[in-house]
Amino acid sequence: MSSICVVGTQWGDEGKGKIVDYLAEQADVVARYQGGANAGHTVVAKGKTFKLHLLPSGILYPGCTCIIGNDVVLDPVVLLEELAALKAEGLDASGLRISNRAHVVLPYHKLFDKLEERMKGNSKVGTTGRGIGPCYADAANRIGIRVVSWMDREAFAQELQTALAYKNRIITQVFGEQPLDFQTIYDEYCGYADQLRPYVCDTCALIHEELAADKKILFEGAQAAMLDLSHGTYPFVTSSHPTAGAVCVGLGLGPKQIGKVIGVVKAYATRVGEGPFPTEQLNAIGEQIRETAHEYGATTGRPRRCGWFDSCVVRYATMLNGLDCIALTRLDILDQFPEIQICTGYKYQGKLLNEFPASLKVLGEVEAVYETLPGWMAPTSDIKEYDQLPANCRRYVERIGELAGARVGIVSVGPERDRTIVREKMF
Ligand code: GDP
Ligand code: IMO
Ligand code: MG
């Protein structure tokens, strides 16, 4: 079976977009299975940079079927903007397919995201403000609106009336804000529905046809293990499951239909938004990483918090996802660091921990235990063969694999497609 799942192993922004785009050259289908427009996946192709939020990162290959699965929360405003940007570049998105079971992000979801963050004050999550949490909450609370209803004017009117009556009571009575107008939302979103209708189908049936025809399929994760609703640093997480298990529910597959799982690992660590980050470097090292790597959010433009590679995080992600191998990205960013630190474990109250702490209090207080490796102080971006990488660089790569508990199968040394060193066959 030729299906590969690509997941984030840290706090997101590991370079999933780059790796999926690279592998998509050989793929027939690329499918997103969770998340929404909170994702920002950067793909650099033919000298142009594309920031994809909802479109799967196979969209730049004509002929690739790109699926937005049932557990993705779909913001039509963002999707239409992305489609317009592709069109402006002369690219065709006819391979796009949107699940009729996906939930629609509506204006009140974005409003609630903002109001709830404001209400939380110092305990805010630091969300992307894209309405993700409120939309998934409505889905779980069975007051969400799915694409299939949104495409049907009558059903949409009825479901929107019900949802909006409920939302407006909270908006006015709890938050003291102005209510939202039904007709304005209805008219605007009927217009979006008309534009996106040609892409809507039963993507579960489609993906099973593709599997039966032995097509090559990539499952593209958004966010990452530490942001997983069940396994991440709750409550500083997203509202979906970026880990590989979610592929099954998010697209309608059985677990045996996932062939291989690749974890994308950044050669250091970053985080956007609030929450514990044991290897964060609030010093000149953190600044150097941020400025060298230009670590600013692809979705919100926020400066990303930067720190050293944390093997506790990636080892945990290896376990949560059952990783077969690692795609190590942004190795070139460390080219000019004379010494590089790797966190090998966490100490809490003087004792080494064996398990990744569930308690945020513990995670916030752990002492990261480091080992120091010599840097390589040489450019790596033009290197095409693994053996050509400087010896200290290979030593760093091998150590990461050893500590993470999965072999490094891909090494990425630049954002472009050709700056990718592949050590083993992926499909
Ligand atoms: P994603 O959300 O996981 O897809 O990652 P983002 O796109 O948010 O952030 C990753 C950033 O790193 C993007 O700007 C990519 O173009 C860039 N990138 C990916 N791989 C490499 C690499 O190996 N080296 C360098 N220098 N940049 C990379
Ligand atoms: P990609 O796919 C990095 C973070 C937000 C916030 C938390 C919850 O590009 O790796 P949300 O808006 O999802 O309710 O925010 O999750 N977050 C991300 N951080 N990369 C992402 O996506 C993220 N998507 C959400 O910053 O801390
Ligand atoms: Mg990103």
Crossing angle of helices 311-321/391-404, nearest 10°?
50
Give the model's pLDDT for residue 106: 98
Closest ligand 2 atom to residue 224 Cα is 10
115 and 189: one domain? yes
| Partner residues linked to 256 by β-bridges | none
Length of the chain: 427
Average pLDDT, the chain: 97
pLDDT band at 38 (very low <50, low <70, confident <90, very high): very high
Distance from Cα 223 to the centre of ligand 2, integer Å: 6
Pick left, alpha or beta for residue 176 (phi over 0 → left; psi -120 to 50 → alpha; otherwise beta): left
402 and 281: one domain? yes
Asked if residue 151 belongs to a domain, the reply is: yes
Asked if residue 427 belongs to a domain, the reply is: no
298 and 243: one domain? no
pLDDT in tens, 112-153: 999 999 999 999 999 999 999 999 999 999 999 999 999 999
Assess whether 13 carries a catalytic annotation: yes
CB 310 within 8 A of CB 278: yes
Neighbours of 143 (CB within 10 A): 13
Decide: 44 in ligand 1 pocket, CB within 6 A. Answer: yes
Asked if residue 165 belongs to a domain, the reply is: yes
Task: Identify the domain containing residue 343 by its residue range.
Answer: 265-422
Q: How many domains does the chain have?
A: 3
Tokens of 162: 């019900």
The pLDDT of residue 199 is above 90: yes
211 and 191: one domain? no
41 and 131: one domain? no
| Sheet strands (E) in 215-259 | 217-220
Please list, in sequence order, all residues whose beta carbon lies within 8 angstroms of the beta carbon of residue 295, skipping any fewer than 6 positions away: 13, 270, 289, 303, 304, 306
pLDDT band at 297 (very low <50, low <70, confident <90, very high): confident
pLDDT in tens, 305-339: 999 999 999 999 999 999 999 999 999 999 999 99
The model carries a pTM of 0.98
The pLDDT of residue 50 is above 80: yes
Give the model's pLDDT for residue 250: 98
Give the model's pLDDT for residue 30: 98
Q: Give the domain CATH number at 286.
A: 3.90.170.10
Give the model's pLDDT for residue 48: 94
Going by C-alpha positions, the residue among 1, 37, 11 that lies closest to residue 223 is 11
Asked if residue 220 belongs to a domain, the reply is: yes
Closest ligand 1 atom to residue 419 Cα is 23
The pLDDT of residue 382 is above 90: yes
pLDDT band at 273 (very low <50, low <70, confident <90, very high): confident
pLDDT band at 302 (very low <50, low <70, confident <90, very high): confident
Give the model's pLDDT for residue 299: 75
**Sign of the torsion angle spanned by Cα atoms 175, 181, 184, 187:** positive
AA letter at 328? L
Q: What is the DSSP letter of 397?
A: H
Closest ligand 2 atom to residue 12 Cα is 10
Asked if residue 241 belongs to a domain, the reply is: yes
Asked if residue 276 belongs to a domain, the reply is: yes
Rg (CA), the chain: 22
Q: Give the domain CATH number at 66.
A: 3.40.440.10
71 and 204: one domain? yes
Closest ligand to 12 CA? 2
Going by C-alpha positions, the residue among 28, 136, 29, 122 that lies closest to residue 73 is 136
pLDDT in tens, 279-294: 999 999 999 999 999 9
Asked if residue 240 belongs to a domain, the reply is: yes
- Ligand 1, residues 10, 23, 32, 42: which to mutate, most atoms within 8 A of Cβ? 42
Tally helices (H) and strands (E) across the chain. Answer: 13, 20
Assess whether 53 carries a catalytic annotation: no
Asked if residue 230 belongs to a domain, the reply is: yes
AA letter at 189? Y
316 and 372: one domain? yes
Decide: 304 in ligand 1 pocket, CB within 6 A. Answer: no
Give the model's pLDDT for residue 300: 79
pLDDT band at 57 (very low <50, low <70, confident <90, very high): very high
Mean per-residue pLDDT, 393-408: 98
Measured by CA distance, the residue closest to atom 16 of ligand 1 is 415
Going by C-alpha positions, the residue among 83, 138, 84 that lies closest to residue 110 is 138
- Ligand 2, residues 220, 238, 296: which to mutate, most atoms within 8 A of Cβ? 238
183 and 308: one domain? no
Q: Which of 148, 169, 196 is the last residue of a domain?
A: 196
Share of the chain above pLDDT 70, in %: 100
Going by C-alpha positions, the residue among 76, 79, 105 that lies closest to residue 93 is 79
175 and 218: one domain? no
115 and 137: one domain? yes
Residue corresponding to tokens 């235990």: 369
CB 292 within 8 A of CB 336: yes
Decide: 6 in ligand 1 pocket, CB within 6 A. Answer: no
Going by C-alpha positions, the residue among 306, 308, 323 that lies closest to residue 267 is 308
Give the model's pLDDT for residue 346: 98
| C-alpha to C-alpha distance for 137 and 385, rounded to whole angstroms | 47
The pLDDT of residue 28 is above 90: yes
Q: Which residues of 281-297 are buried (b: 16+ CB within 10 A; e: fewer)?
A: beeebbeebbebbebeb
The pLDDT of residue 72 is above 80: yes
365 and 256: one domain? no
Query: Out of 21, 28, 41, 103, which one is annotated catalytic?
Result: 41
Give the model's pLDDT for residue 1: 64
| C-alpha to C-alpha distance for 356 and 346, rounded to whole angstroms | 9
Residue corresponding to tokens 């002492």: 367
281 and 159: one domain? no
